[in-house]
Amino acid sequence: MTTVRTRFAPSPTGYLHVGGARTALFSYLFARKHGGRFVLRIEDTDLTRSTVESVNTILEGMTWLGLEYDEGPFYQTQRFERYAQVIETLLQKGLAYRCDCSKERLEALRQRQMAAKIKPRYDGHCRNRQVSPDQPHVIRFRNPDQGVVVVEDLIRGRLRFHNEELDDLILRRSDGSPTYNLTVVVDDWDMGISHVIRGDDHLNNTPRQINILRALGQEPPRYAHVPMILGEDGARLSKRHGAVSVVAYREQGYLPEALLNYLVRLGWSHGDQEIFSLDEMIELFDLEQVHRSPATFDREKLTWLNQHYLQQADPKRIAHLLSPHLGKLGIDPSQGADLVQVVKVLAPRAKTLVELAEISAFVYRDFEDYDETAAKKHLRPVAREPLEALRAALEDLALDDWEPYTLEQVVKGVAERLQRKLGKVAQPLRVALVGRAASPSIDVTLQLVGKEATLRRIDRALAYIQHRAAQT
């Protein structure tokens, strides 16, 4: 049996799009399932748009997602000599020819065809002309003008393309640079790619590439064209729908396993199962189960998955990933409560690492403002007495006793002594500590904030109550 070899071949003209990431994932899973090889190829022949920054962003996104490639990255700009050899071979065999048609002629041809409601295509004007290699020209492929190209697509089934509808595409531009349809054919051939998994926007290129491969005496790989990803409005997913860059989702606090799990479910399913580990994806993934219709990107579903993984992950790992997000808030997590303990307590309340950083900030620094509704309800004059009693009791507590059980007993003791319901004591304290009415249990909140900050924030709350009372 032929060894399965798949490839991911992005163009470094921008970021790694989630659509490209899904294609890379499908290619990776197929290779891994069949004991094959996964190749990374950088298609950087567009010299005016390709950048080193884009290459680095693509590699960074692949690494973050954990899509480890077995070979590469290979760069097309390092293979120009090889492309030139193949073009020369096609010229010598009469399977390609020089064309010196001007832009004006080609545009006039296009306009006439469109007016006649004919699909625009090159008319073969230079097929049998002798064009000097010394004058400006392009190299065109002599596409068969009869017959049918049959593509046994692993997702779409059998597809038929009539050669008479395919034009003589350009293999080399007038500046000497090779075109996409030539380079991809040569690369897939030289790299022994057995299965090409790519977006269905390449579907029209497939019969052309098959014809070039067969002209070179090669059997084409198997093809699988993945339907596009749409935004919730039904239009093709783009920047106007929000983040579409893989790295942007990392910056927004999503976990790579959540994004991978979400992407694999965009157009593929295994019964009603929603949660997949990478090993399960490799075991269960099947190209023939990929849907033929476009998938819709649902940000809420991705966030739901992220929340699941955030709660299930090792707290030490989440603490490591959370640290830079706290840094963006100007917080040094080494100055305060143990970050792993913070994650254990607060991760169940967050959907993303960014959100987790925001709700963890109170542990490490004083907040700027009280939540208006919470302060209006809980920081009233009636709260002065329990807050003063709590401050006195907490100030007398030794640092060695600053742990949840003892702290809980202090709060309960104040409530009993003042003959108040626990909520009438704990809620004003909670707002004083975190600025809002929601936090973990009051004993754990006290432990995380620490003694010094607790006393300082109670003083601030008492001053706030006094100030409000003076205004009324």
Structure tokens at 202: 């390449």
Q: Which of 33, 117, 119, 239 is catalytic?
A: 239
d(CA 144, CA 161): 12
> Contact 226/267 with Cβ under 8 angstroms?
yes
Active site residue 451: no
Catalytically annotated residues:
239
